[in-house]
Structure formats: structure tokens, C-alpha cells
A = this chain, B = another copy of it.
């Protein structure tokens, strides 16, 4: 019953049990996250998941490809964690932005996501894992950008490059907490209250920066043209 879920996933190897494969992926993912790629040995994964090293190498051709599959699962998880907070668009864009910002920041600051972020940056050059995550982030960016575009069309935000506005919102959200967390100067994740306050300050600053201009201090129609990635 469980083998017919997808017959074309045998691109690399033959078909094997799926539960074992998933158990290996889960354990390897956890160890890679907390220890990094080089400091995690296949023997350690074997001991943690239980079983034999040969089993791992019957499911994955190398440690490298096992790592890449873990990272692909990680970015899928990233998307599931961020995009689900984007559909509930409140009537007031201010509270919609705040709700999104708070849950987004809370997700970003979770220990697992911090570990993934560190790992992605550390191993960005390896097998193009960095691009893997960035492409997923781009999807999120374009979603936020669509929200911005709509808010600009309805007049609740000033007319500007919606993608730029999305980048600025994301940066403001991360401004207070991300750097010390990535550099591990604090021990654990911040609590929800701290996150909520940082998100509140970030959204407040964003709304001040992107509220509609009261007077035409600057020409409104200047849309910056093709600023980088589409």
C-alpha cells in the first residue's frame, strides 16, 4: 500500500522501505542541524538511528547526498512554517502585518530554524544548498510582495516597489534579534513576549516608512526598475 505513493522516486536507487529511510533522514537531519556536516559522522548517525551503516548506504549513495536530502526537507519545512501565516489577511493591513510579522519572527527564532539557518550559511557552497534555501525564500518574498502590491493598490500603503517593501519588512523584523541568535551569544530562543515586542516595533517602523505620503515631497511614480531577482 505504501509503495505506490510515488513510483518515480527511484531516480537514485532501487525502492526500499520508506519508514527506515524516513527514520534515517530524521535522525541525520537532527544531528546535522546541531553539529554541522563535518562534525557529524555516518557512524554517529548509524548509532543514533539504530541499525547498520550498510543500511544507510543502501538508501543514500553518500553522506553528501544524505545531507542534501535533509536540507531539502528543511526548506520544505521552512515554507510550511512561514506561508501558513500569510493567508489570514485581516481587514486592517496594520494588524495583518503585525500578525504575520509576529508569527514569522517567532518561527525564524525557533531553535530548529536557527540551526538550519546556520547550517545553510555554513554549507552554502556545498552542492548548491544555499541556492536551495534562497529559492524557497524567494517564494515567500513574492507572496509578501503580492500582499504589498495589493495594499499599495488600495491606498493603504504608499506606492513603491512591492518587492523592496517586502525586503524592508523582513529586514526590520529580523533587525533586533537575528544577529545575536545566529552568533549564539544568547543561550536559547527568546520568549514570545520579546518576539511580539520586536515585531510590534518593526511593523510600526515599517508602517511609518511605507504609509501613504501626505504630501508629494517626492515624485510618486518613480518605480525602481528590475531590482535584482524576479
- Using CB atoms and an 8 Å cutoff, list the residues of chain A in contact with chain B: 36, 38-39, 118, 120-125, 130-131, 133-134, 137, 164, 167-168, 170-172, 174-176, 179-180, 182-185, 197, 201-202, 205-206, 208-210, 214, 224, 227-229
- B122 lies within 8 A of A183 (CB): no
24 A-B residue pairings within 8 Å (CB atoms): A36-B38, A36-B122, A118-B122, A118-B124, A121-B182, A122-B122, A124-B182, A124-B183, A131-B183, A131-B185, A137-B179, A164-B201, A168-B172, A170-B175, A171-B172, A171-B174, A171-B175, A176-B227, A176-B228, A180-B229, A205-B209, A206-B209, A208-B209, A208-B210
Residues in B with CB closer than 8 Å to A179 are: 134, 137
Known: A131-B183, A164-B201. 13 other contacts (CB 8 A): A38-B39, A120-B183, A124-B183, A131-B185, A134-B179, A134-B180, A164-B176, A167-B176, A168-B172, A168-B205, A170-B175, A172-B175, A206-B209
Residues in B with CB closer than 8 Å to A206 are: 209
Q: How far is the CA of A131 from the CA of B182 in the complex (A)?
A: 10
CB distance from A72 to the nearest CB of B (A): 15
- A121 lies within 8 A of B183 (CB): yes
Do A121 and B122 contact each other (CB < 8 Å), given the known contacts A130-B184, A209-B208? yes
Q: How far is the CA of A124 from the CA of B178 in the complex (A)?
A: 13
Chain B residue nearest to A201 (CB atoms) is B164
Q: Among B133, B182, B205, point to the contact of A183 (Cβ < 8 A).
A: B133
